[in-house]
């Protein structure tokens, strides 16, 4: 069907150019709002009516006559109907829809993917400071970031996954002192325990391992403890390495891998922060006031100028962010996406302002941001707020252990990132159609069981005669399968992996409907082979789509 649609689109573009030179550049098909209206639709006639100073229905009639005279429409289209003020509703022949089955079986795991475009993209996500276990908000960010990376890979981009974290500063100092107190036998509730200290049981675990002189190894560092409770710097380094290791375990359980870990401290030790500040000064975009250094961020649309260097000499947190993003640009990443919580919204304008003011060639709107809200967790009908391990929040590993990696990923991706999400643990465990990930995975497993019962060689299905696939449920299933490449492309462009979850649920529904409508393993060999080819193609697309989300496609359930 992809080939058929490409030929039809080319014919539409040519027809529009005949009516108005240059109009063909905007040729596009839409899906009709109701399946009864046809398979494809075009609003081009209504868009052309005003510049042509003609009645839109008359333009639609002229365009329809032109299209029906083309070889492509003669080959693939049953009818072109005019509706309302000038909608063109196109009804495809069964052969056009059947074609997608061969396309899927020929492409396999690459169906829907585009060839390499030679472009690079850096996606920064999770970026949790090593001060405690990853919480469910980090989980949402991990699912979003990894799925967006997978989406861009399907569109031919060379994707780089990066984890940025603060390995210094007040929070790390609090972590070190909390661990030191535990190592000395002081615990939460005791006299001398600071209000700002970290209270989770994991702090005691770190202290015990430090006293035992253990060695901890994370993806980006390794450290051996001295065992001396007075060694605050050693405690700090050990605690950071310990928690980075813990985060690695969380991410491994979630099947997320990074290409690089970037340390905020390196921006200072390498001089990049000072270089960035000097660039802004040299560009005339700073001024001194009240003992502080300010950025003229209002020159770039910010609502007020921002302090860069405080009167005490310390930099505000957006300054290293600007330096960090300059390094992204200098490393050759012309497209950058940051996945962050909505609490970072205020930093967007000032970071972009700093990048423009630095005058290093970075375009406006760099980087892109995807902001997500936090996640509430429900279990047994009640909200869960506390994890003993973390001390004050539900951890990502809690959620994975209570349910599964697949359920957590699918659920956290099933809504737009900026909408509040309630994770229902009981629903994630339910083995029924109310559980969306179960519903989709069951469709895949159901097809696998049919293919196993058949017992033939799946590679032979590529040559099946598909002409008998004319039942409405079969035709609808093929239309759903054919949508996948466009859904992928749109989801990547909009940073919208939730669109893939919606699509997979619709595809699974189309399969379940087809399964209930027609018996697949019939005695007629030709008919059986055609139906097997169709469901095998559906299984392949379900598998491909779940892979984009980082969710498995089980053969048995």
The per-residue pLDDT string of the chain (557 residues; one tens digit each, 9 = 90 and over) reads 678 889 999 999 999 998 889 888 888 998 887 778 888 999 998 888 888 888 989 999 999 999 999 999 999 999 999 988 888 999 999 999 999 999 999 999 999 999 999 999 999 999 998 988 899 999 999 999 999 999 999 999 999 999 999 887 888 999 999 999 999 999 999 999 999 999 888 999 999 999 999 999 998 899 999 999 999 999 999 999 999 999 999 999 899 999 999 999 999 999 999 999 999 999 999 999 999 999 999 999 888 999 999 999 989 989 999 999 999 999 999 999 999 999 888 889 999 999 999 999 999 999 999 999 989 999 999 998 765 555 678 889 989 999 999 999 999 999 999 999 999 999 999 999 999 999 999 999 999 999 999 999 999 999 999 999 999 999 999 999 999 999 999 999 999 999 999 999 999 999 999 999 999 999 999 999 999 999 999 999 999 999 999 999 999 99
pLDDT of residue 23: 87
Helix (H) or strand (E) holding 87: strand 87-92
Burial class (CB within 10 angstroms; exposed 0-12, middle 13-18, buried 19+) of 149: buried
The per-residue pLDDT for 486 is 94
Q: Where are the domains of the chain?
A: 2-92, 120-163+261-372, 169-257, 433-549
Rounded Cα–Cα distance for residues 479 and 141 (Å):
32
- Whether 412 and 552 have beta carbons less than 8 Å apart is answered as no
Per-residue pLDDT, 38: 87
Class of 433-549 in CATH? mainly alpha
pLDDT of residue 92: 94
**So what's the pLDDT on residue 521?**
97
For residue 556, say if its preceding peptide bond is cis, omega within 30 degrees of 0: no
CATH C-level class of 2-92: alpha beta
Integer Cα distance of 531 and 378 in angstroms? 42
**Which conformational region is residue 510 in: left (phi greater than 0), alpha (psi within -120 to 50 degrees), or beta?**
alpha
Alpha helix (H) residue ranges in 331-435: 345-357, 396-402, 405-412, 425-429
* Among the four given CATH numbers 1.10.20.140, 2.30.30.30, 3.40.50.620, 3.90.1150.10, the one describing domain 120-163+261-372: 3.40.50.620
Alpha helices for 41-126 (secondary structure H): 44-52, 56-68, 71-76, 94-107
- The contacts of residue 342 (CB under 8 Å, 6+ apart) are 371, 372, 373, 418
Fold matches, 120-163+261-372 and 433-549: no
pLDDT score recorded for residue 239 = 96
């Amino acid at each position: 069907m992809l080939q058929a649609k490409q030929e039809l689109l080319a014919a539409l573009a040519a027809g529009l150019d005949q009516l108005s030179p240059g109009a063909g550049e905007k040729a596009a098909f839409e899906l009709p709002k109701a399946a009864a209206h046809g398979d494809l639709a075009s609003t081009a006639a209504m868009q052309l009516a005003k510049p042509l100073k003609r009645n839109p229905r008359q333009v639609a009639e002229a365009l329809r006559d032109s299209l029906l005279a083309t070889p492509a429409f003669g080959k693939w289209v049953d009818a072109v109907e005019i509706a309302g003020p000038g909608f063109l509703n196109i009804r495809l022949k069964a052969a056009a829809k059947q074609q997608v089955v061969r396309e899927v079986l020929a492409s396999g795991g690459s169906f829907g993917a585009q060839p390499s475009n030679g472009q690079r993209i850096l996606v920064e996500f999770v970026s949790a400071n090593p001060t405690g276990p990853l919480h469910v908000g980090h989980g949402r960010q991990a699912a979003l970031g990894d799925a967006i990376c997978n989406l861009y890979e399907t569109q031919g981009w060379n994707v780089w996954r990066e984890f940025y974290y603060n390995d210094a500063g007040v929070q790390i100092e609090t972590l070190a002192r909390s661990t030191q107190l535990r190592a000395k036998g002081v615990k939460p509730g005791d006299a001398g325990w600071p209000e700002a200290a970290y209270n989770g049981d994991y702090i005691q675990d770190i202290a015990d391992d430090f006293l035992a002189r253990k060695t901890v190894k994370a993806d980006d560092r390794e450290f051996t403890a001295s065992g001396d409770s007075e060694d605050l710097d050693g405690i700090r380094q050990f605690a950071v390495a310990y928690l980075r290791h813990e985060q690695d375990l969380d991410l491994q359980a979630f099947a997320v891998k990074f290409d690089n870990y970037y340390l905020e401290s390196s921006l200072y030790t390498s001089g990049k922060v000072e270089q960035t500040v000097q660039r802004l000064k040299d560009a005339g975009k700073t001024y001194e006031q009240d003992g502080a250094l300010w950025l003229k961020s209002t020159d770039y649309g910010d609502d007020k100028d921002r302090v860069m260097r405080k009167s005490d000499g310390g930099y505000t947190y957006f300054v290293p962010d600007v330096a960090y993003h300059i390094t992204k640009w200098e490393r050759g990443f012309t497209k950058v996406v940051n996945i962050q919580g909505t609490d970072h919204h205020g930093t967007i304008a000032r970071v972009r302002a700093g990048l423009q003011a630095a005058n290093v060639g970075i375009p406006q709107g760099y980087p892109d941001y995807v902001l997500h809200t936090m996640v509430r967790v429900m279990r047994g009908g009640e909200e869960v707020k506390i994890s003993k391990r973390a001390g004050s929040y539900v951890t990502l590993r809690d959620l994975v252990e209570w349910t599964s990696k697949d359920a957590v990923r699918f659920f956290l991706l099933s809504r737009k990132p900026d909408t509040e999400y309630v994770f229902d643990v009981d629903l994630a465990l339910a083995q029924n159609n109310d559980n969306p990930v179960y519903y989709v995975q069951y469709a895949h497993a159901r097809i696998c069981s049919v293919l196993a019962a058949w017992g033939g060689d799946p590679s032979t299905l590529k040559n099946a005669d598909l002409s008998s696939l004319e039942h409405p449920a079969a035709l609808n299933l093929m239309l759903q399968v054919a949508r996948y490449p466009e859904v992928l492309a749109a989801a990547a462009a909009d940073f919208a992996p939730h669109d893939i979850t919606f699509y997979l649920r619709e595809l699974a529904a189309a399969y379940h409907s087809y399964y209930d409508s027609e018996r697949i393993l019939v005695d007629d060999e030709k008919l059986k082979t055609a139906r097997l080819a169709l469901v095998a193609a559906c299984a392949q697309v379900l598998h491909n789509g779940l892979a984009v989300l980082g969710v498995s496609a089980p053969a048995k359930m």
